[in-house]
């Protein structure tokens, strides 16, 4: 199953997908990007992903190509790869420049579209749940870098995940500087108590995930109450149910936090209902023209 990449205006194989060491994406993480998957070969939620890419670009003054241009190249890479289902990464870097922070040095932005076979977390994790670790690495405050911008600068997230992995957990849960829950290293978090679902508001300092938005819609359609409210770490530790969301994981149940079981340690009914709802949504995407 092949990996194909659109770069420098053409589609190439993995080993030929190379970029200049003077590209600012490489030098500084000076780029914006999106990650999504296909279902039945069709990109899931491509429109909101492209809108977010454009918003991220505007926020940091990187010119992103028009969405119909990206759609056209993406369709060509997907066709060239021919995978049953794919992982898709759309990257726009500020382009190459003389070395120097000044963005005025940059030439034109460059579009890269990576398509590779989709690999999901092990099925066992969806069945039994994964572990979350509340880590010391905090989210970057909005005044330093707006967390709603999906930029290529992920070192802080990488450090947070390292901390979680060292303790044997699947994902890190990061707090903001006020000590409230923000988000994972690469996911949003939801907790459920007495059948009601809560997720932190955008003001907590998080990337408003496309899957987060979708799960909130699905919850409403299933008459499950979902609200955005500040969450304290104790609200997470004392929750009946917890799950995380991201475009590749979809909805992943969490049954352990900081080494302790969440409630009875089993995937709860609200989580199950939303997991089923999201899987049905993926099936709909697969069959929808
Ligand atoms: C920091 C962060 N938060 C949240 C998410 C989830 O966003 P989405 O559902 O759009 O994939 C991601 C995805 O990678 C992320 O990197």
pLDDT tens digits, one per residue of 14-61: 999 999 999 999 999 999 999 999 999 999 999 999 999 999 999 999
At which of 86, 117, 148 does a domain end?
A: 117
Give the closest residue to 231 by CA, choosing from 265, 196, 266: 196
Domain that holds residue 29: 4-117
Ligand 1 proximity of 246 Cβ (cutoff 6 Å): yes
Please provide the size of the chain in residues: 289
Residue with tokens 């190379």: 18
Residues 104 and 155 in one domain: no
Ligand 1 proximity of 188 Cβ (cutoff 6 Å): yes
- For 150-267, strand residue ranges (E) read 171-175, 181-184, 188-193, 196-199, 226-228, 241-246, 250-257, 260-261
Residues 127 and 224 in one domain: yes
Residues 140 and 113 in one domain: no
Residues 256 and 160 in one domain: yes
Ligand 1 proximity of 37 Cβ (cutoff 6 Å): no
Q: Which atom of ligand 1 is nearest to the CA of 147?
A: 1
Ligand 1 centroid to Cα of residue 211, in Å, is 8
Ligand 1 centroid to Cα of residue 62, in Å, is 20
Q: Specify the CATH number for the domain of residue 152.
A: 3.20.10.10
Domain count, the chain: 2
pLDDT confidence of residue 13: 98
Cβ–Cβ < 8 Å for 118, 98: no
Residues 77 and 206 in one domain: no
Question: To the nearest whole number, what is the mean pLDDT of the chain?
Answer: 97
Residues 106 and 129 in one domain: no
Residues 29 and 97 in one domain: yes
Angle at the Cα of 88 (from 42 to 26), degrees rounded to 5?
160
Residues 143 and 248 in one domain: yes
Residues 97 and 235 in one domain: no
d(CA 82, CA 77): 8
251-272 mean pLDDT = 98
pLDDT digits (tens, 9 = 90+) for 84-116: 999 999 999 999 989 999 999 998 999 999 999
At which of 117, 139, 154 does a domain end?
A: 117
pLDDT digits (tens, 9 = 90+) for 206-248: 999 999 999 999 999 999 999 999 999 999 999 999 999 999 9
pLDDT confidence of residue 155: 97
Q: 40: which residues sit within 8 A by CB, 6+ positions away? A: 85, 283, 285, 286, 287
How many angstroms separate the Cα of 2 from the Cα of each of 88, 93, 226? 13, 24, 40
Residues 257 and 189 in one domain: yes
Q: Specify the CATH number for the domain of residue 113.
A: 3.30.470.10
Residues 208 and 282 in one domain: yes
> What SS3 state is found at 121?
coil
Residues 137 and 189 in one domain: yes
At which of 117, 145, 170 does a domain end?
A: 117
187-209 mean pLDDT = 98
How many angstroms separate the Cα of 288 from the Cα of each of 44, 47, 87, 226, 248? 11, 15, 19, 27, 20
Cβ–Cβ < 8 Å for 86, 37: yes
């Amino acid at each position: 199953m092949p990996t194909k990449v659109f770069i420098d205006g053409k589609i190439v194989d993995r080993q030929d997908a190379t970029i200049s060491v003077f590209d600012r994406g490489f030098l500084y993480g000076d780029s914006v990007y999106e990650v999504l998957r296909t279902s039945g070969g069709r990109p899931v939620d491509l429109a909101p992903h492209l809108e977010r890419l454009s918003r991220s670009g505007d926020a940091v003054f990187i010119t992103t190509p028009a969405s119909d241009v990206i759609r056209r190249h993406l369709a060509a890479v997907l066709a060239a790869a021919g995978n049953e289902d794919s992982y898709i990464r759309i990257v726009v870097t500020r382009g190459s420049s003389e070395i120097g922070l000044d963005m005025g040095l940059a030439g034109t932005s460059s579009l890269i579209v990576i398509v590779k076979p989709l690999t999901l977390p092990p099925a066992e994790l969806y069945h039994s749940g994964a572990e979350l670790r509340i880590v010391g690495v905090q989210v970057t405050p909005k005044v330093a870098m707006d967390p709603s911008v999906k930029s290529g600068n992920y070192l802080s997230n990488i450090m947070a995940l390292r901390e979680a992995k060292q303790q044997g957990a699947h994902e890190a849960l990061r707090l903001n500087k006020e000590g409230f829950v923000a988000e994972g290293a690469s996911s949003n978090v939801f907790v459920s108590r007495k059948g009601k679902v809560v997720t932190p508001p955008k003001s907590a300092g998080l990337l408003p995930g496309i899957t987060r938005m979708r799960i909130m819609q699905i919850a409403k359609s299933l008459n499950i109450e979902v609200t955005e409210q500040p969450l304290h770490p104790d609200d997470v530790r004392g929750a009946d149910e917890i799950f995380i969301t991201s475009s590749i994981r979809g909805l992943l149940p969490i049954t352990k936090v900081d080494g302790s079981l969440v409630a009875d340690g089993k995937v709860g009914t609200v989580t199950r209902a939303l997991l089923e709802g999201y899987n049905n949504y993926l099936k709909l995407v697969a069959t929808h023209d």
